[in-house]
Chain A
Amino acid sequence: MIDWNHFTPLASLAGGVLIGLAASWLVLANGRIAGISGLLGGLVDRAADWRPRAAFIAGLVLAPLLYRVLAGGLPSANVTAAWPQLALAGLLVGVGTRYASGCTSGHGVCGLARLSPRSLVATLSFMAAGFVTVYVLRHVLA
């Protein structure tokens, strides 16, 4: 059953296009894949090319500030998970994305745009795990 009240087709499509354009810019101008876990992981690994990595990450962190200036406010963001659950989730995301060499951006956007079979397998895997996890959280445990 589709949740029409929360469905935002235009904003989501437009936001997706911005994400795709930013990833396109980074690969064409900098020669880099816009994979957030890879860019951040490189900083954790003390990679030599830390400047552009840190700059991209800084752009992400500063984006809400710019959004507020441009749009006059920020859309609401609701976190339902309690802190222990958030900490466990963060740990799994950190380890998992590094083992998989990518996350939603690197595999799900850039990899699929490059028609990479590896990225397709990764995306199907994390999507499936996400669906099952939320199913268990909301329909088994709750």
Chain B
Amino acid sequence: MKTLSALLAGLVFGLGLILSGMANPAKVQGFLDLAGAWDPSLALVMAGAIGAAFLPFRLAGQRKKSWLGEPLHLPGTREITPRLVLGSLLFGIGWGLAGLCPGPALVLLGTLSGPALVFVSAMLAGMELFRLLQHKRA
């Protein structure tokens, strides 16, 4: 049941990415190009997403279990760390270079796009590299 529920959420999330234009790297770069012909569309994607999720997340924060009886995995960390900032900066550079972040890259992979395959393979390699580095530290 929780697998089916997650599949449904992923499908709707993906439809939203496609409809919004987030799954079009050229459009994402158009948003990031403040000094050129700026396409502000993606600011509206964030506004719509945050607006729709605001009250449901309040509700979730008050619950002990999810509708399907799962524990609520809400992040409890509050510290602003160098790794949070440095990691985000690295991510932002990659995002700008390709016009792709993880969700849209997976959606594009579903259209059998060659560039998406290159990007996702490299992204998985990056995640595996992180895992190995963490493993060594632990």
Contact = CB atoms under 8 A, between A and B. Distances in A.
B57 A21 contact: no
A103 B129 contact: no
Contacts of B11: 59-60, 62-63, 66
A15 B107 CA distance: 14
B73 A29 contact: no
B63 to A, nearest CB: 8
Nearest to B4: A55
B89 A16 contact: no
Interface residues of A, number: 111
A22 B49 CA distance: 9
**Chain B interface, DSSP helix/strand/loop, else mixed:** helix
A133 B10 contact: no
Contacts of A97: 87, 91, 101-102, 127
> Majority SS of interface residues in chain A?
helix
Interface residues of B, number: 115
Contact of A96 (B14, B73, B91, B120): B91
A93 B9 contact: no
A13 interface: yes
Contact of A15 (B45, B77, B131): B45
A89 B98 contact: yes
Given A79-B25, A133-B32, A63 B110 contact: yes
A52 B10 CA distance: 10
A59 to B, nearest CB: 2
Interface in B36-55: 36-42, 44-54
Interface in B79-111: 79-80, 83-103, 105-111
A94 B96 contact: no
Contacts of A139: 35-36
A63 B17 contact: yes
Interface of A: 1-3, 6-9, 11-34, 36-37, 40-41, 44-45, 51-53, 55-67, 70, 74-81, 83, 85-101, 103-105, 107-114, 116-118, 121-123, 125-135, 137-139
